[in-house]
Amino acid sequence: MNDTTSKRKMELLAPGGGVDAIKAAIIAGADAVYCGLEKFSARDRAANVPIDDMPQVVHLAHLHHCRIFVTLNIMLVEKEFSRVLKILHRLANAQVDGIIVQDIGLMYLIRTHFPMLPIHASTQLTTHNEGQVAALARLLAVRVNLCRELNLNEIESLSRFSHGLGVETEVFVHGANCLSFSGLCYMSSVNYGNSGNRGRCSQPCREEYAPTGQGWRFPLNLKDNTAYLNVAQLWDADVDSLKIEGRIKKSNYVYAVVRIWRQQLERLYSGVPLEDSDEALRTVYNRDLTNGFLTGNIHRDMFIDNPKDNSARYFLKQSGAVRYKEIKRVNQTVNDGKKALIEEVKGKIAALSIEKVPVSVMVKGEVGSPLCFTVRTPYDTFDVFSDTALFQSQAPASGELTADKTDVDSADHLTPPAHNQLNRKLFLYKLRAINGTAYQIDTLQLDELATGLCIGYEEIVRMKDRILYRLNGNRPTVEPVALPDGPVSGHAVLMPRLSVLISDESDLSLCSDTDATVHFELPNQLSSSWQKYAALLGRWPAVVPWFPAVLIGEDYTAAVRLLEALKPARIVTDNSGVGHAASVLKILWTAGPQLNIANSYALRGLKETLHCDGAFISSELNQLQLKSIPAVADMALHFSIFHPIPMMTSRQCLFHNVTGCEKARMDNECLRTCERTATLKNMKDTVTLIEKRQERYPRLVFNRHYLNTAVVSDLPNVFSSFLIDLTHIPTLTQMTRSKKDILALFDRHVKGDPTAADALHLAICPTTCNQYAVGV
């Protein structure tokens, strides 16, 4: 282990689901808190923070040397950007310390119009390889949250690479685990119309299912994540920020977990022995704890067949209690501890206030002299707004409270009345912007202002701006920004093409039967097979390689080698890291549907920053949401009209608790060789397919394929191509005709044959098109 007594410290980043939780995190010793607003946050169920309270929240945090990051980490649709732009303006003036972002379109707006707001790439961006970090750096992200699924070696490698680009790394170290790679889970969207990419996850993975063959009722339910016993390794791995999950948790939970982690970090920094038990963390809500992903031990023991609080069960097991009185005593002890914690935290947070800082304004002036505002604020023992010299402050005597005093003289001299006279109502109106900050005009004194005077209103506005500059720590006020003009429209598409996705070598013969563009789906594990695929695609130069969403470590390196060796004219990729590599190699690339593109600003960002020239629009959108996206010049739009519906992609084995597996842990051999399927049925009789193909990660897939023939006529002249996915995924959907015939039917439909849609629905059934109706 390196010398942890050196100056480098890791940020302890705490969740703030509401104002009380933020206060609890501050008291417990958090270096930073991340919190959401009432809209546009990936934790829609959290209490969140009203935008009007944000200046006071930031002020309180800064007083205690704590930073505030605001989450705007969802996929945005076109109509929301005018509102989001206004929110960004207010957040910039509230002096928040960073914005956590998922949507590339939002990154584009921030980097273009609010460069003073640091961009933090959300976990929803599924960051797990060097190319993705490089792509996000080009989009001006200053921090990336790395996937929960990564192990310590992978984290260390990415941290060192990121630092070379000036990008910080952030790792989830405590709280709920997601079974799916974040950003690639559509289960809640498909099953209930509540998109996880919109902050509305209904957590169907934690639902009860019909008992499986292994006797599990909650077969997808992971234990909670904790890296508490691995803090020294995280320091060695050069991680910058340790993030605690839990924005829907109460303030007492936040306080307890942050305090326990703070104590462990202080042990690390001071060089004293670290706590070697995580028992303290088990006294608060948990689903049992695991560090399986972090240690690379992706074991069946990471699951637990109960999604509820495990704290009492843990201490019962530790106590060995078997008799009723013994069990009751242990349960009572656990509950008493939680009640005492609630009362302790309630008392502590009551001492912190987000009331606005009172400001006293004295107005002075007489005929022939300047107008003068004397502004007073309470003395602040914390140097958050630090530069008191600009306010002409006098340092107080030890232990004595005084006040800052700022005289702001007008450039114009007061003159006898020529128009409306200066009065209280006028001043309160012209100075009202102060009340939109962490400050509030408490008193306005006009005793030393001679009566009957006037001055140009624009001068009062200039004086107000100077006051705000002083109150904001010598930072100028950020002016409002109008939504940029609509993206320059490209030419309307007169005749869209058909494109097809295949994954079996035997289906390459379809190339000779159609003029459709054929794409070949590449697997996740490319490290041992990229040369094979390079040779195969080299024999079919017209076939477009399609790269998957997840390519970790050596598999990403292999993907880049494949690009370098094959030098294809074009690729499609669901991984932004491959898009980055393609742009460096000057290979044309199209963004795949799992990049969750849903607005024209994301198209602009991809085009201008990563030299992308086309994108598949998210299949989660409905007709109106699709229709609202204006074309962008030199950016072709694509849409998938027939495909199996992926509900999640996981690094964990999904068969352990369903059909069982002879192996206890998931490893590279499983990834390379395993090929099997199974089904799950929840208590509403909804069937879900579990599928694992060779060289690919396990997935949950909806029980029917998506078939959308309506979009072709609903949105004419919009999409350059419509995709059909003919990879073999055994859902309930059956095709009664050959792939060649199905391909011909789709080709007729795309070209306007009015009889083809009915023929397709007869030949392919059952199917669903619910997302096109519901949207996000």
pLDDT at 101 over 50: yes
- pLDDT tens string 531-567: 999 999 999 999 999 999 999 999 999 999 999 999 9
CA-CA distances (angstroms) from residue 296 to 150, 151, 173, 179, 445?
Answer: 8, 5, 14, 15, 66
Predicted pLDDT at 447: 92
Cα separation, 642 vs 733, whole angstroms: 11
- C-beta of residue 602 within 8 angstroms of C-beta of residue 556: no
pLDDT at 401 over 50: no
pLDDT at 403 over 60: no
- C-beta of residue 44 within 8 angstroms of C-beta of residue 70: no
Predicted pLDDT at 599: 97
CB-count exposure of residue 323 (10 Å: 0-12, 13-18, 19+)? exposed
pLDDT at 398 over 80: no
Which helix (H) or strand (E) element contains residue 91? helix 81-94
Cα separation, 475 vs 468, whole angstroms: 8
The whole-number average pLDDT for the span 648-654 is 97
pLDDT band at 511 (very low <50, low <70, confident <90, very high): confident
pLDDT at 237 over 60: yes
The whole-number average pLDDT for the span 358-377 is 88
Predicted pLDDT at 495: 87
Predicted pLDDT at 388: 22
The whole-number average pLDDT for the span 152-159 is 98
pLDDT band at 489 (very low <50, low <70, confident <90, very high): low
Q: Which are the contacts of 623, defined by CB distance < 8 A and separation ≥ 6?
A: 710, 711, 714, 715, 772, 773, 775
pLDDT at 96 over 60: yes
What does 723-740 look like in DSSP terms, one character per residue? EEE------S-EESS-HH
pLDDT at 163 over 60: yes
Predicted pLDDT at 513: 80
Predicted pLDDT at 490: 54
The whole-number average pLDDT for the span 382-386 is 22
Predicted pLDDT at 31: 98
Predicted pLDDT at 153: 98
What does 52-81 look like in DSSP terms, one character per residue? GGHHHHHHHHHHTT-EEEEEE-S---GGGH
Q: Which are the contacts of 542, defined by CB distance < 8 A and separation ≥ 6?
A: 511, 518
pLDDT at 452 over 90: no
Cross-strand bridge partners of residue 597: 617
pLDDT at 396 over 70: no
Question: By three-state DSSP, how is residue 46 classified?
Answer: coil
Q: Which residue has the tokens 């707006």?
A: 109
CA-CA distances (angstroms) from residue 81 to 76, 141, 583?
Answer: 8, 19, 27
pLDDT band at 486 (very low <50, low <70, confident <90, very high): low
**The tokens of 113 are what?**
């119009």
- pLDDT tens string 171-230: 999 999 999 999 999 999 999 989 999 988 989 999 999 999 999 999 999 999 999 999
- pLDDT tens string 615-630: 999 999 999 999 999 9
CA-CA distances (angstroms) from residue 582 to 527, 562, 686?
Answer: 18, 11, 40
Q: For all residues of the chain together, what is the average pLDDT? A: 91
Predicted pLDDT at 466: 87
pLDDT at 492 over 60: yes
pLDDT band at 45 (very low <50, low <70, confident <90, very high): low
Predicted pLDDT at 3: 62
- C-beta of residue 486 within 8 angstroms of C-beta of residue 630: yes
**The tokens of 58 are what?**
């930031």
Which helix (H) or strand (E) element contains residue 359? strand 357-365
- pLDDT tens string 11-43: 999 999 999 999 999 999 999 999 999 888 756
pLDDT higher for 625 or 511? Answer: 625
Cα separation, 146 vs 155, whole angstroms: 8
- pLDDT tens string 332-352: 999 999 999 999 999 999 999
In the chain, what is the straight-line distance between the N-terminal and C-terminal CA atoms, in Å? 47
% of the chain residues with pLDDT over 90: 82
According to DSSP, residue 141 is labeled: E
Q: Give pTM, 2 decimals.
A: 0.92
Predicted pLDDT at 414: 58
Question: How many degrees, rounded to 5, is the angle at CA 400 between CA 395 and CA 404?
Answer: 45
The whole-number average pLDDT for the span 373-378 is 90
What does 319-343 look like in DSSP terms, one character per residue? HT--SHHHHHHHHHHHHHHHHHHHH
Cα separation, 235 vs 241, whole angstroms: 10
The whole-number average pLDDT for the span 56-62 is 97
pLDDT at 469 over 90: no
Q: Which are the contacts of 398, defined by CB distance < 8 A and separation ≥ 6?
A: none
Cα separation, 738 vs 742, whole angstroms: 6
Greatest mean pLDDT among 138-147, 423-432, 442-451 lies in 138-147
% of the chain residues with pLDDT over 70: 91
- C-beta of residue 604 within 8 angstroms of C-beta of residue 597: no
Predicted pLDDT at 389: 20
Q: Which residue has the tokens 């992308």?
A: 612
The whole-number average pLDDT for the span 598-606 is 97
Which helix (H) or strand (E) element contains residue 120? strand 119-121
pLDDT at 405 over 60: no
- pLDDT tens string 259-288: 999 999 999 999 999 999 999 999 999 999
- pLDDT tens string 423-446: 999 899 999 999 999 999 999 999
